[in-house]
Amino acid sequence: MPEVSEIHESSALFLAAWKRFSRGLPARRIEDLDGVSLILTGTQMALLNVAALSSAARDRGDLERRARAAVERAGRSGLPWSFAVPEPWAPGGDLAEAAGVLTRLGFAPAERVTGMATDALAPPRRELADLELRRVSDAETRAAVADLNAGCYGVSLPEGRAAMAHPSIWGEGAFGRVGYLGGQPVCCAATCIVEGVRYAALVATAAEHRRKGYAEAALRGCLDDALRATGIRRTALHASEMGLGLYEAMGYRAITRFAFYVPPQA
């Protein structure tokens, strides 16, 4: 069983990481309301625009109040966004309780993600001699990360680049790798130092190259870069259902869950 400290670490990391992703974006907006953190990048990347619980909801009524405040504030932005509920901060620590409140308010369930962490990764499962791994260090590699993630999340390349290729996002404390085959980018991953851990994010693989170990190689590359630069061994992430098996094989442990909801239509 995860320790209580790990569960709360995962919830705090979620907020800190999403704020980190918006760093330097010219139209970003971060607002801490009463029990809700509003994190808007100013871009059309729905994944990165969230209103999230920032502390435990006392009961169903308290969650409803916070959700209504999120709709009022985030709805003004005109951006696509989602409402995020960390499991330990749902009423009674029960995501089913949160679901009842939010669906009654018109929210639609979207994605579930799992907070994961480890202090020691498992050994690599395979060697990939055909994959060239390049550090994210210039406009070309930043664009490659953005384009690969845009493809995974169904947004246009310009929208993806506006959200993820901005130079300031890749400043101090950010490490990225892009994998190339025949000179073409096919996978990528990033590691940012967030709250004193190596936080893994932006892991993506082109559809035709999945299930070959490429994403794992890119992620291990930037995790190693971060370890050499900082000496920090602990690493954490928030995994989609698609990525859960990969991270478990790498040695990450499930800590807690997060539920995302699409807001009601205006």
> If we measure between CA atoms, which residue out of 15, 20, 28 comes closest to residue 84?
15
Same domain membership, residue 221 and residue 151: yes
Q: What is the pLDDT of residues 150-169, one digit of tens each?
A: 999 889 999 999 999 999 88
Same domain membership, residue 94 and residue 150: no
Same domain membership, residue 222 and residue 140: yes
Same domain membership, residue 109 and residue 63: yes
Handedness of CA 240, 241, 246, 248 (dihedral sign): positive
Q: How many other CB atoms sit within 10 Å of the CB of residue 69?
A: 16
Same domain membership, residue 202 and residue 143: yes
Residue 25 lies in a domain: yes
Residue 59 lies in a domain: yes
pLDDT of the residue at 1:
60
> Residue 84, SS3?
strand
Range of 110's domain? 4-116+257-262
Residue 246 lies in a domain: no
- Tell me which long-range contacts 186-189 makes (C-beta under 8 A, separation of at least 24): 186/131, 186/148, 186/214, 187/131, 187/148, 187/214, 187/215, 187/217, 187/218, 188/136, 188/144, 188/145, 188/148, 188/149, 188/218, 189/215, 189/218, 189/219, 189/221, 189/222
Q: What is the pLDDT of residues 86-109, one digit of tens each?
A: 999 999 999 999 999 999 999 999
Dihedrals phi, psi of 115, to nearest 5 degrees: -75, 130
pLDDT of the residue at 188:
98
Number of separate domains in the chain: 2
Residue 31: both structure tokens together = 């607002």
Q: What is the pLDDT of residues 21-34, one digit of tens each?
A: 998 899 999 999 99
Residue 26 lies in a domain: yes
Flag whether pLDDT at 140 surpasses 70.
Answer: yes
Please give the model's pTM, rounded to 2 decimal places.
0.94
Same domain membership, residue 205 and residue 148: yes
CB distance 234 to 255 below 8 Å: no
Residue 121 lies in a domain: no
**Burial status of residue 6 (CB atoms within 10 A of its CB: 0-12, 13-18, 19 or more):** middle
Flag whether pLDDT at 3 surpasses 90.
Answer: no
Separation between Cα atoms, residue 200 and residue 87, nearest integer Å: 20
Same domain membership, residue 171 and residue 212: yes
Region 55-81: mean pLDDT is: 95
Residue 174: both structure tokens together = 């950010």
Same domain membership, residue 112 and residue 18: yes
Flag whether pLDDT at 47 surpasses 90.
Answer: no
Where residue 126 falls among pLDDT bands split at 50, 70, 90? confident
Residue 252 lies in a domain: no
Q: What is the pLDDT of residues 164-219, one digit of tens each?
A: 999 988 999 999 999 999 999 999 999 999 999 999 999 999 999 998 999 999 99
Q: How many other CB atoms sit within 10 Å of the CB of residue 247?
A: 25
Residue 140: both structure tokens together = 């070309």
Average pLDDT score, the chain? 94
Same domain membership, residue 189 and residue 104: no
CATH code of the domain covering residue 162:
3.40.630.30
Separation between Cα atoms, residue 75 and residue 107, nearest integer Å: 13
Same domain membership, residue 55 and residue 18: yes
Separation between Cα atoms, residue 189 and residue 40, nearest integer Å: 22
Separation between Cα atoms, residue 88 and residue 216, nearest integer Å: 29
Same domain membership, residue 102 and residue 48: yes
Same domain membership, residue 112 and residue 8: yes
Region 252-263: mean pLDDT is: 96
Residue 248 lies in a domain: no
Residue 127 lies in a domain: no
